[in-house]
Amino acid sequence: MPIKHIDLGFADYKEVWDMQKETHLNKQKNPGDDILFTVEHNHVYTLGKTGSRDHILISDEEMKSKGISYYEIDRGGDITYHGPGQLVAYPILELNNYYKDTHRYLRDLEETVILTLNELGIEAHREEEYTGVWVGDEKICAIGIKVSRWITMHGIAFNINTDLSYFDKIIPCGIFHKGVTSVEKITGAKADFEKIREIYVKNFENTFQTHQKQ
């Protein structure tokens, strides 16, 4: 079964969250193609249901003055940032068609990013203690998901040309002692965002179609 990729371009976080919920609900009623949304968001902090508000180091007033939105949402994980230059991917997959294993799903999401970075000549890896993808001691991709009725929501946030200063106002993913990075920071040059999106979508499709039940 093909995975349908929908490029949402640049879109508001709340609008896309609502779109995910609607798609998830429709998929419960009418199983059809699996979907991969990719998008860039405006500046926004999101706090997962297992996160701590104490990991936000900026006041509501300062967030408002800087034009940063804030949402407490229904994924796992802690606080993270989304913004321009970051590739965000939201797969709506029916895991019954693959495997009923959320830990394996997280590892496969990590793999899609590791494969993409490898194609860019960047050596990336997993950290045993933490979900996500790392280059050296710095996180380049955060991952937070929700799985309900074995259908997935939320996904990955992959720093390509991201303004990393926005991470200074939070404790990303609740991890105090490690940094964050981006493709631009590693290479020292602005990356081709659309080319990386294309490579990522290819690696996503290859990774998950390999695991589809026939």
Give domain status of residue 97, yes or no: yes
57 within some domain: yes
In a domain, 74, yes or no: yes
Note the pLDDT of residue 77.
79
> Which parts of the chain sit beneath pLDDT 70?
172-177, 214
Structural domain that includes position 184 = 3-209
Q: Is 173 a catalytic residue?
A: yes
- Please give the pLDDT value at position 43: 96
The pLDDT value recorded for residue 210 is: 76
Q: Decide if 214 is inside a domain.
A: no
The string of DSSP codes covering 68-135 is -EEEE-SSSS-EEEE-TTEEEEEEE-BGGGT-S-HHHHHHHHHHHHHHHHHHTT---EEETTEEEEEE
- Number of domains into which the chain is organized: 1
pLDDT of residue 26: 93
Identify whether 191 is part of a domain: yes
Tokens standing for 16? 């896309």
- Residue in 135, 145, 173, 199 annotated catalytic: 173
Residue 86, pLDDT score: 98
Angle, helices 102-119 vs 193-210, to 10°: value is: 140
Residue 38: what pLDDT?
A: 98
pLDDT of residue 101: 96
In this predicted structure, what is the pLDDT of residue 85?
A: 98
User: Considering the domain boundaries, does residue 64 fall inside one?
Assistant: yes
Domain membership flag for residue 9:
yes
Is 109 part of a structural domain of the chain?
Answer: yes
Residue 75's CATH number: 3.30.930.10
pLDDT of residue 148: 95
The Cα 207–Cα 177 span in angstroms is: 31
